[in-house]
Chain A
Amino acid sequence: MQRFDRVTGPAVPLLRPNIDTDVIIRAERLVGTPKDAMGGYAFESWRYRADGSEDPECLLNRPPFRGAPILLAGPNFGCGSSREAAVWALLGLGIRAVIAPSFSDIFVDNALQNGLLPVVLPEETVRRLASEVEADPDHARITVDLAAQAVVGPEGTVHGFAIDPDRREALLLGLDDVGLTLRQAEAIAAWQEKDRRLRPWVWFGAAAT
Chain B
Amino acid sequence: MAATLLDKLWQAHRIAPAGRGRDLIHIDRILLHDLSGARALAELAEKGYGVAHPELVFATPDHGVSTAPGRTAETFPAGALGVAMLREGARRHGIRLFDLGQDGQGIVHVMAPELGLALPGLSIICGDSHTCTQGGLGALAFGVGSSELAHALATQTLRLAKPRAMRVRYEGRFAKGTTAKDAVLAAIGRFGAGAGAGCAIEWAGEAVRGLAVEARLTLCNLSIEMGARIGFIAPDETVFAWLAGRDFAPRGAAWDRAVAAWRCLRSDDDALFDRDLCLDAGTIAPQVTWGTSPEHVIAVDRPVPSPDQAPDAAQREAWAAALAYQGLEPGRPLEGLAIDWVFIGSCTNARLSDLREAAAIVAGRAVDPRVTAWVVPGSERVKRAAEAEGLDRIFRDAGFSWREPGCSLCVAANGEAVPPGARCLSTSNRNFVGRQGRGARTHLVSPATAAASAIAGRIVDIRKPF
Residue positions of A touching B, CB distance < 8 A: 15-18, 20, 22-23, 26-28, 30-32, 45, 50, 74-76, 79-84, 87, 102-106, 109-110, 113-114, 164-167, 176-178, 180-182, 184-185, 187-188, 191-192, 195, 199-209
Given contacts A23-B433, A31-B81, A181-B155, contact A16 B318 (CB under 8 A): yes
Q: Which residue of A lies closest to B228 (CB)?
A: A105
Give chain B residues whose Cβ lies under 8 Å from the Cβ of A20.
293, 430, 432
Cβ–Cβ contact A104 & B197, under 8 A? yes
Q: Which of A45, A102, A166, A192 is the one whose CB lies under 8 Å from B26?
A: A192
Whether B191 sits at the interface, judged by CB under 8 Å, is no
Given contacts A82-B128, A206-B254, contact A164 B20 (CB under 8 A): yes
Residue positions of B touching A, CB distance < 8 A: 15-16, 18-22, 24, 26, 28, 35-36, 39, 47, 49, 55-56, 63-64, 78-79, 81-82, 96, 116, 119, 121-122, 127-129, 143-148, 150-151, 154-157, 159, 161, 163, 192-194, 197-198, 224, 227-229, 247-255, 257-258, 261, 293, 295, 314-315, 317-318, 321, 411-413, 420, 430, 432-435, 438-439
Give chain B residues whose Cβ lies under 8 Å from the Cβ of A113.
145, 147-148
Give chain B residues whose Cβ lies under 8 Å from the Cβ of A22.
430, 432-435
Given contacts A18-B318, A27-B413, A109-B148, contact A188 B197 (CB under 8 A): no
Q: Which of A31, A109, A166 is the one whose CB lies under 8 Å from B35?
A: A31
- B143 → chain A, closest Cβ, in Å? 4
Cβ–Cβ contact B412 & A27, under 8 A? yes
Cβ–Cβ contact A181 & B18, under 8 A? yes
Give chain A residues whose Cβ lies under 8 Å from the Cβ of B39.
84
Q: Which of B26, B154, B412 is the one whose CB lies under 8 Å from A182?
A: B154
Q: Which of B24, B193, B411 is the one whose CB lies under 8 Å from A184?
A: B24
Cβ–Cβ contact B194 & A82, under 8 A? no
Separation of A204 and B78 alpha carbons in the complex (Å): 36
Cβ–Cβ contact B159 & A201, under 8 A? no
Given contacts A113-B145, A188-B157, A192-B156, contact A80 B18 (CB under 8 A): no
Cβ–Cβ contact A82 & B159, under 8 A? no
- A164 → chain B, closest Cβ, in Å? 4
Cβ–Cβ contact A201 & B119, under 8 A? yes
List 9 A-B pairs, minimum CB-CB distance, nearest first.
A76-B194, A84-B145, A206-B254, A166-B19, A110-B145, A113-B147, A201-B250, A164-B21, A27-B413
Give chain A residues whose Cβ lies under 8 Å from the Cβ of B413.
27-28, 30-31
Give chain B residues whose Cβ lies under 8 Å from the Cβ of A204.
55-56, 248
Given contacts A31-B64, A207-B250, contact A83 B159 (CB under 8 A): no
Separation of A16 and B325 alpha carbons in the complex (Å): 15
Cβ–Cβ contact A109 & B24, under 8 A? no
Known A-B contacts: A84-B127, A104-B227, A177-B159. Give 9 more (CB < 8 A). A31-B413, A50-B438, A104-B194, A165-B20, A176-B147, A184-B18, A187-B15, A201-B250, A208-B247
Q: Which residue of B lies closest to A182 (CB)?
A: B155
Cβ–Cβ contact A45 & B15, under 8 A? no
Q: Which residue of A lies closest to B311 (CB)?
A: A17
Separation of A201 and B55 alpha carbons in the complex (Å): 13
Q: Which of B159, B250, B412 is the one whose CB lies under 8 Å from A181?
A: B159
Given contacts A82-B129, A181-B159, contact A76 B81 (CB under 8 A): no
Given contacts A17-B314, A31-B64, A82-B128, contact A187 B24 (CB under 8 A): yes
Give chain A residues whose Cβ lies under 8 Å from the Cβ of B412.
27-28
Cβ–Cβ contact B159 & A180, under 8 A? yes
**20 A–B contacts from the bound complex (CB under 8 Å):** A15-B317, A18-B194, A18-B295, A20-B432, A22-B434, A26-B434, A27-B413, A28-B412, A30-B35, A45-B438, A50-B420, A74-B314, A81-B128, A104-B229, A164-B21, A166-B18, A184-B15, A200-B254, A206-B254, A207-B250
Given contacts A23-B434, A84-B145, A182-B154, contact A200 B314 (CB under 8 A): no
Q: Which residue of A lies closest to B291 (CB)?
A: A18
Separation of A11 and B280 alpha carbons in the complex (Å): 44
Give chain B residues whose Cβ lies under 8 Å from the Cβ of A184.
15-16, 18, 24, 157
Separation of A35 and B78 alpha carbons in the complex (Å): 16
Give chain B residues whose Cβ lies under 8 Å from the Cβ of A110.
145, 147-148
Given contacts A79-B194, A109-B144, A188-B24, contact A31 B151 (CB under 8 A): no
- B55 → chain A, closest Cβ, in Å? 6
- A120 → chain B, closest Cβ, in Å? 10
Given contacts A17-B314, A45-B438, contact A188 B18 (CB under 8 A): no
Give chain A residues whose Cβ lies under 8 Å from the Cβ of B146.
84
- A200 → chain B, closest Cβ, in Å? 6
Cβ–Cβ contact B251 & A206, under 8 A? yes
- B217 → chain A, closest Cβ, in Å? 18
Cβ–Cβ contact A164 & B22, under 8 A? yes
Given contacts A164-B161, A201-B258, contact A206 B248 (CB under 8 A): no
- A129 → chain B, closest Cβ, in Å? 14
- B134 → chain A, closest Cβ, in Å? 14
Separation of A31 and B81 alpha carbons in the complex (Å): 8
Q: Which of A16, A82, A87, A166 is the one whose CB lies under 8 Å from B22?
A: A166
Cβ–Cβ contact A18 & B147, under 8 A? no
Cβ–Cβ contact A79 & B227, under 8 A? yes
Cβ–Cβ contact B26 & A82, under 8 A? no
Separation of A27 and B250 alpha carbons in the complex (Å): 37
Q: Which residue of B lies closest to A28 (CB)?
A: B413
Cβ–Cβ contact A177 & B151, under 8 A? yes
Separation of A110 and B49 alpha carbons in the complex (Å): 19
Separation of A178 and B78 alpha carbons in the complex (Å): 31
Q: Which of B143, B161, B314 is the one whose CB lies under 8 Å from A15?
A: B314
- A80 → chain B, closest Cβ, in Å? 6
Give chain B residues whose Cβ lies under 8 Å from the Cβ of A109.
144-145, 148
Separation of A163 and B39 alpha carbons in the complex (Å): 28
Separation of A26 and B412 alpha carbons in the complex (Å): 9
